[in-house]
Structure 1
């Protein structure tokens, strides 16, 4: 638990100016747009795939039952009994649920490979071009998706893998940029606003993709990929013109805002020469807890993100337009809740109502608990469509509370190594994107029954609960001692060097101080609690 104010040594230098709209907020908005593109490109296939696949042919091979028969627990069709199958049942491709699961998960096969690489490169060279080019590459590949799908499912899988490789650097790169742009007590809100692009992209992608599948050009579903890919290319132009790696290199930032940000964060120039303490990172209890929690939280999120359009159509019997609009509703709530959660986290810390650790644990626990309860609730209400939609909205929407919790914990644990820590944790968070759709495909492979989908949801809720317990017991919001890994020109082990010439003088007792709490070695030493000023070569 923190016993000293978060920014005690330089409190007077971090307040009183630049609390209005500035370049850091412009960065948050542009990066929010980037993440909107990221998620639109990621999830549009989830909707388009429903229109691409010939479900009638597959259902005949598994002795598809009359969809108006509810005696076996299936939901009734909303259409009259003598109606014919819609065009959505007559897609071009005869891919069974297993193949569809592999296609939906293939993006993450590539996505998992570049997380750590992206973090290392961003911390060393800056994140602007990694983030921008990653999204641009994904956008261009998306435009070629219809050609790949009509050539071979294996080529489609290959395109999706390449998209994942390109997009895998985006989150580590952006988090690394925030370690140079986000003042300590604005960090939660700015990052939550930036990350809110994810639900915005999902909100737009689901209904627009549904409409394009039905009314678009090029056969309907191909227009989904042409339009969203083109939007991503246009966004890249805007990013190239307006984004900069740090306040130090921004040509038009005001001197006041630059001083405000830099005085809050301390000197960041030494990061390019830092030695990465890999052993301490890998075996750090808070990092392990963060990795496990990220995996568990992402399982529920990706299960809903990739599989709900199929569930809406196959189980609830909603048409493409209804499917897209209703699938987007939980993410509209998620957007609002995520931004508010970031603001709330900063408020609780700024007013010293809770420590950073308590704030992160509280918001993480609430988000994961609501996510699990909502998903379990879906299994209990049967074919009550309004209740299913309400519970999915509760699960995904209010699950966004974690935006002020573990989702930004990387910057708490190691501000100087944010890109690397984010790369590691997001690698774990990518695993459910690979495994989740595949598991759902295997479970529902015998005919898309409600009982099979209940099993999918129970697994998801159980995994979320594990994440809640792990982070509550082992998570931390304290900067870790190994985050002080020094540049090569630092003094010998155990000694300290002053980074900022304007910082207050070091207390005389520092050289002899031996930490006893390695989760927070500076606990109780308010005079040296601001690690932005003083970096120690501590090897544990």
Structure 2
């Protein structure tokens, strides 16, 4: 009998930490950009600020310029060679550059920060394809929703702490540079832990219990030390289920990145919260999402394992709720007046919190469709869907010419609501939770 707590949980914890710190790197600039460009938010006059930077949304989108590039390669390479060292090397570079952003800003201006963020995006492009591949090797199908959710929901958790700490540090005498220094150090620590404790599969782990190894491999059908099935590119690109997954992921990412990059700005200019209060209130929606995600993952596994719903029906149900409920909250938010800050905060919490239901929807669907090519599917879908992460801040830059005007923000929120409802409908029609025929090579 496999142990209830085993080495698979240690591996999942490493992936959780990676996603947690990685999202901290992403969000530190979303909050920090306010302190970096507004001298009035810095209690210490010695902290440098750059009010001449008029291209803030372009700076925020720069991360995605690089993030899109390595995704497909990362998924394919993880399946072919293993994911451990790709993750260690790329995240080490990401962490070093993150640590150096304050001096880069001082010497090379906003263009230097853009280039740094693009390189960080390039490095972080390895995270989700590689982690999805590792999950497909370490997580039994019976535990897929709950353990997958632990990893994928680390994003909101890292967002919470990243927003809170960045706001706290930026509003202190230490100033915004120390937020970048903190995450640079945390990133290097994770790389050391992964080198010591991380392994590409149960077959390669020197100390794993035999019963746990059998439990994992028997559930997944992976018994070889390396499984190098040829990638069925034609079948993947012509699969309706993969396209439905891609559209769902794209719609969700458009919503997620619009809110993640713009909530601090919206709270600052429309609701007039100071930076310390801003960071706390901006992080509350992600705290709600993170807490809900665990119940969602447990409930989804229970429903599928007890055969209350088929895996396909369960994925479609959770995905629909995870996308349409935020859309309703955003529509209501778009009609919230400037003198209703409490209502705005509640609706933001509802929008981001209810989005947690998608962690048992499309988020784990890559492993449903093809356990053998899950990393490649994640690379394809996550990579190309992140184009929405580039578009989201630029859309706001185009629509919101006056950041204090609630009517301009209304247009943004209504556009986001329409996109995610459309994505939910497509997944209901064409999505699937079944293993596809092209998962195994033809004999």
**TM-score of the pair, normalised by structure 2:** 0.96
Structure 1 residue runs of 5 or longer lacking an equivalent are 1-16, 56-84, 486-535
CA distance in 1, matches of 2:249, 2:296: 17
Q: Which residue of 2 aligns with 1:168?
A: 125
Q: How many residues align?
A: 439
Q: Tell me if the contact between 2:248 and 2:424 (Cα under 8 Å) persists in the aligned partners.
A: yes
1:371 paired with 2:326, answer: yes
- Kindly provide the CA deviation profile for residues 471-518 of structure 1, in whole angstroms up to 9, marking residues without a partner as x: 011101111111112xxxxxxxxxxxxxxxxxxxxxxxxxxxxxxxxx
Q: Which residue of 2 aligns with 1:291?
A: 246
CA distance in 2, matches of 1:380, 1:464: 18
CA distance in 1, matches of 2:350, 2:84: 35
Q: Which residue of 2 aligns with 1:116?
A: 72
Q: Tell me if the contact between 1:339 and 1:403 (Cα under 8 Å) persists in the aligned partners.
A: no
Q: Tell me if the contact between 1:268 and 1:416 (Cα under 8 Å) persists in the aligned partners.
A: no
Question: Cα distance, 1:135 vs. partner?
Answer: 2.1
Q: Tell me if the contact between 1:180 and 1:268 (Cα under 8 Å) persists in the aligned partners.
A: no
Question: Cα distance, 1:86 vs. partner?
Answer: 5.1
Question: Cα distance, 1:95 vs. partner?
Answer: 4.7
Q: Which residue of 2 aligns with 1:426?
A: 382
- Kindly provide the CA deviation profile for residues 156-200 of structure 1, in whole angstroms up to 9, marking residues without a partner as x: 111000000001011000110111111111111111111222111
Q: Tell me if the contact between 2:137 and 2:222 (Cα under 8 Å) persists in the aligned partners.
A: no
Q: Tell me if the contact between 1:357 and 1:476 (Cα under 8 Å) persists in the aligned partners.
A: yes
User: How do residues 493-508 of structure 1 correspond to structure 2 at under 5 angstroms?
Assistant: none
Q: Which residue of 2 aligns with 1:440?
A: 396
Q: In structure 2, the residue corresponding to 1:245 is in which secondary structure?
A: coil
CA distance in 2, matches of 1:285, 1:154: 41
- Kindly provide the CA deviation profile for residues 408-464 of structure 1, in whole angstroms up to 9, marking residues without a partner as x: 100011111111000011013311110001111121124541111111111111111
Q: Which residue of 2 aligns with 1:22?
A: 6
Q: Structure 2 vs 1, CA of residues 19 and 362 (structure 1 numbering), >3 Å: closer, same or farther? A: farther
Q: Tell me if the contact between 2:90 and 2:126 (Cα under 8 Å) persists in the aligned partners.
A: yes
CA distance in 2, matches of 1:216, 1:222: 11
Q: Tell me if the contact between 1:32 and 1:194 (Cα under 8 Å) persists in the aligned partners.
A: yes
CA distance in 1, matches of 2:403, 2:203: 58
CA distance in 2, matches of 1:45, 1:267: 41
**TM-score of the pair, normalised by structure 1:** 0.79
Question: Cα distance, 1:133 vs. partner?
Answer: 2.5
Q: Tell me if the contact between 2:320 and 2:424 (Cα under 8 Å) persists in the aligned partners.
A: yes
CA distance in 2, matches of 1:193, 1:313: 31
CA distance in 1, matches of 2:190, 2:307: 39
1:380 paired with 2:364, answer: no
Greater helix share, structure number: 2
- Kindly provide the CA deviation profile for residues 88-125 of structure 1, in whole angstroms up to 9, marking residues without a partner as x: 8x97223566x111100100010000110100110111
CA distance in 2, matches of 1:167, 1:86: 30
Q: Structure 2 vs 1, CA of residues 426 and 87 (structure 1 numbering), >3 Å: closer, same or farther? A: same
1:190 paired with 2:147, answer: yes
CA RMSD of aligned residues (A): 1.7
User: How do residues 464-475 of structure 1 correspond to structure 2 at under 5 angstroms?
Assistant: 464-475=420-431
Q: Tell me if the contact between 1:125 and 1:272 (Cα under 8 Å) persists in the aligned partners.
A: no
Question: Cα distance, 1:128 vs. partner?
Answer: 1.5
1:141 paired with 2:97, answer: yes
Structure 2 residue runs of 5 or longer lacking an equivalent are none
CA distance in 2, matches of 1:288, 1:95: 43
Q: Which residue of 1 aligns with 2:24?
A: 40
User: How do residues 384-403 of structure 1 correspond to structure 2 at under 5 angstroms?
Assistant: 384-403=340-359
CA distance in 1, matches of 2:158, 2:95: 14
CA distance in 2, matches of 1:127, 1:468: 31
Q: Structure 2 vs 1, CA of residues 26 and 271 (structure 1 numbering), >3 Å: closer, same or farther? A: closer
1:213 alignment partner, one of 162, 170, 180: 170
Q: Tell me if the contact between 1:54 and 1:95 (Cα under 8 Å) persists in the aligned partners.
A: no
CA distance in 1, matches of 2:72, 2:190: 25
CA distance in 1, matches of 2:359, 2:189: 28
1:255 alignment partner, one of 210, 224, 229: 210
Question: Cα distance, 1:270 vs. partner?
Answer: 8.2
1:127 paired with 2:83, answer: yes
Q: Tell me if the contact between 1:364 and 1:404 (Cα under 8 Å) persists in the aligned partners.
A: yes
Q: Structure 2 vs 1, CA of residues 308 and 36 (structure 1 numbering), >3 Å: closer, same or farther? A: same
User: How do residues 35-74 of structure 1 correspond to structure 2 at under 5 angstroms?
Assistant: 35-54=19-38
Q: Which residue of 2 aligns with 1:356?
A: 311
Q: Structure 2 vs 1, CA of residues 157 and 249 (structure 1 numbering), >3 Å: closer, same or farther? A: same
Q: Tell me if the contact between 1:413 and 1:478 (Cα under 8 Å) persists in the aligned partners.
A: yes
CA distance in 2, matches of 1:268, 1:319: 56
